Structure formats: C-alpha cells, structure tokens
Structure 1
C-alpha cells in the first residue's frame, strides 16, 4: 500500500508509533522513525526499510535539522505521522506552569513544526496522519491539559486539510482510546480492568490495530478523506 513512499513517523519508537513505523515499512515504505531513545540504524522490514533516528521532537532546532537530513538523503516526504506525545496526571488545583508547558511543547508545538517541516518537502498528493486521542472529546479527571492538547490536534487537522487541499495533501487524525502499550502495562490490574469495562468491545486496543487505521489514512485507500478523525477506541467514546 505504501510501496516506494518515503514516510516519517515522529515518535516512532515503541508503542503506537513503533507499530506504525513497522507496519509502514512492511507495506513497502522507507520509514524514518524518530525518538529521543532511538538507537540509530537501518533495518529491512519486508518490502521496505526502517531508519531509526534519535531526535527530540520538542527541540525545534533538532527537528529542523532532521528534516534537512531527510531532504538531503531522499529529497521528499510522502507521508508524515506525528505520534510524539506525553500525558501526566494533574487536576486543576495542581497544574503548574511546567506541567502545562512541557505537555503543550511536545503535543502541540512540536506537532505543528513537524508538519511545517514535512510539508516544505512534501510533493502534491501527500498525506499527514496526526495521532490524537478520544481524550479530546471526553473529560477525564486529572488529564485536562492532555485533553486540551489533543483537541488542538483535532483543530489543526481541520485547518491544515483546508490549507493544503490545493496541493491534494490530505490531513487526518487517528484517535485511539486506551491502548495496550508498555505505558499502559505499568498500570495496575485494577485500572486496566476498569478501563476495559468502559469499552463496549471489552478490551483495550492493540498498537497494531491503531497502526492499521493509520495505514488506511496514509494510503490511497482513503483518497477522498481529509479533515476527518477516525476513532480506534472499541466504541468507548462513540456509544
């Protein structure tokens, strides 16, 4: 589905981002997967290649240098996925400036400049997939700042879909619910069971299921879809 494409996955190490990077490479793309924790290198993944790059997405100078490297090495970005993000618990009375700044810097500021960097070298007909969250639409206690960042992601997708339509660049959001990643594995069994009970399908998502949704939005299979949000939440925020 992505044969010959150049893809960039910001936040592409482990969890949802890692699953997206692996799936895109398996579908034939050359994938640049960034992370603060990446061990740089290149491996074959079936029909495609996975190139790990150590980049702190919140460091705008490092992010700009990364896109310049991509431009120099391959000349373009056909598909961008922005997954880098963080969440921390803090109720309104406990929110600090540092808490607010760190979450908005990574979840919103870095996402915006990643999109700007990619579209500067993206040919007409490209695709952008932003990883949002159903947290944008539900009021989870203690995660107000995180939810606000994901609402900003949803808003950016609408605006950029409109701005980039003349170049036939599509912009969409994949919005996971609770997903069984390493971060979630650190939660207690009680918390995991409580979350699962809130999901009509009775379980959390697998990272690979979110990756499948991202692949659909990135590929020509969704050629007439832009400005949309695709929830992957087992119905949690839908019914």
Structure 2
C-alpha cells in the first residue's frame, strides 16, 4: 500500500535537487503534493498513485507564502505533511560576512521556514507530520559557512520546540539532515572541493537526492509514528564516526 495514500503534502522548495526528489517520491507514494519554487513552471501531473502540483512561489516573500497557503486551504482544506526545504548556502568567512549575506541567508533558511510551518500548522489535522530539511552543517563548523550552519542549528532548535508544542495534537516534527549530496548545487563546486568532501565520508561517496528523499518519506509516513523531535543524518557517516 502507498505510504502517503490520500495525504495532502506541501514541499516548500520542491523543484530540483533534494526538494524535487522529495516531491516526486511523495507523489509516487500516493500524496497530492504542492511543490513550490521561485522557478517552477506551474503544472499538475500524475505521479504513480498521486499527483504533483507545481506552484511558483518565492518562499522569502512572506506575503506570497501566506497567499500560497491560503490557496491550498481553499483548494483542499488541509495539509497533512509539510516539508520545508527552501534554503541557500553561500560561502563567507567571519571577515567577509555582510549584513546582506546574513539577512538573505537567515531570511530564507529560518524566517521563511518559521512562517511556512506556522501557516501549515494552522490547517493540519491531528496526526500530521512536519519534516524540516536541515544539514549536518549545524554541528560540524565548516569553514566559511558559519552563517549557513547557524541557520541549520536554528532549524534543529525549532524542531525540538515545535515537537513539544504540537505533541498534544499528535503532530510530529523531525529534521532530515543531509551531508554532501550530489545535486546541481554541488556540481557547481570545483573538482578539488568535491574530492576533499568525498574523502571525509566513510562510505566513500556523496549522497543522492533520492536517498535524502527516502529518509524524509520515512519521517513523514506512519512508519515513523512514534518518532518526533529527532534529527536523522543522511551523510554516509561523515558527521557520525
């Protein structure tokens, strides 16, 4: 049986890379998936036993984000599963960090995530699930990514708090934390950077977007019905051993 049959899912940042893989897997498992992106071509297509509804939304624009959730409420009335994946990662050491860099990174990675969760939770029935896409960068102190790592630490903290706050409604909140993953964003890195990262991964390779999506699917589904407040690393052991 499909693990998300009949569910209404929203994937904020659901076009390409990890978010796109999550949206595709959720639809294949029976969900009606609203997948947002600034670059999405608005369309509706069947995927397996579910449906993928792409919507063009800039998650950093809170007015647009709120309007999107109101549109979902008007169309289907509820959200059973929320995934927030929208985010940016830009290199800047302490000497180079600017207000613009800080505001841009926290604005999308933290502020947008917070208000997406608030909007979705307001129309979630009891027993729903929230999966936040974090990163092992929240704990490993990667040089040049201090602001990015801090945003992901904030995501981890939100998950703990919201897991407590939403527990009376049996709404679970968890984090999937990828390590280096072979997406278009990573493909833009130099060969030297990719080789350096790969050497740090015990399994000897980068992750795939579909592997991260599989972890998100598990946390979103009833198979994880007694799991809340956790961070599930998908990093080939990079930050674990």
Q: TM-score range by the shorter chain?
A: over 0.9
Q: Distance in 1 between matches of 2:190 and 2:113?
A: 30
- 2:192 corresponds in structure 1 to 190
- 1:134 corresponds in structure 2 to 136
Q: TM-score, normalised by structure 2?
A: 0.99
- 2:25 corresponds in structure 1 to 23
Find out whether 1:168 has 2:157 as its counterpart: no
Query: Which has the larger displacement, 180-189 or 9-18?
Result: 180-189
- For structure 1, list consecutive stretches of 5 or more residues without a partner in the other structure: none
Per-residue deviation at 1:189? 1.6
- Please identify runs of 4+ aligned residues in structure 1 that moved more than 6 A: none
- 2:219 corresponds in structure 1 to 217
- 2:38 corresponds in structure 1 to 36
Q: Distance in 2 between matches of 1:193 and 1:58?
A: 33
Q: Distance in 1 between matches of 2:17 and 2:62?
A: 23
Q: Distance in 2 between matches of 1:113 and 1:27?
A: 27
Secondary structure at 2:237 match in 1: coil
Secondary structure at 1:92 match in 2: coil
Q: TM-score, normalised by structure 1?
A: 1.00
- 2:11 corresponds in structure 1 to 9
- 1:206 corresponds in structure 2 to 208
- 1:68 corresponds in structure 2 to 70
Per-residue deviation at 1:143? 0.2
- 2:157 corresponds in structure 1 to 155
Say how many residue pairs are matched. 239
Secondary structure at 2:95 match in 1: helix
Deviations 1:150-206 (A, max 9, x none): 000000000000000000000000000000000111112221111111000000000
Q: Among 77, 85, 88, which residue is 2:87 paired with?
A: 85
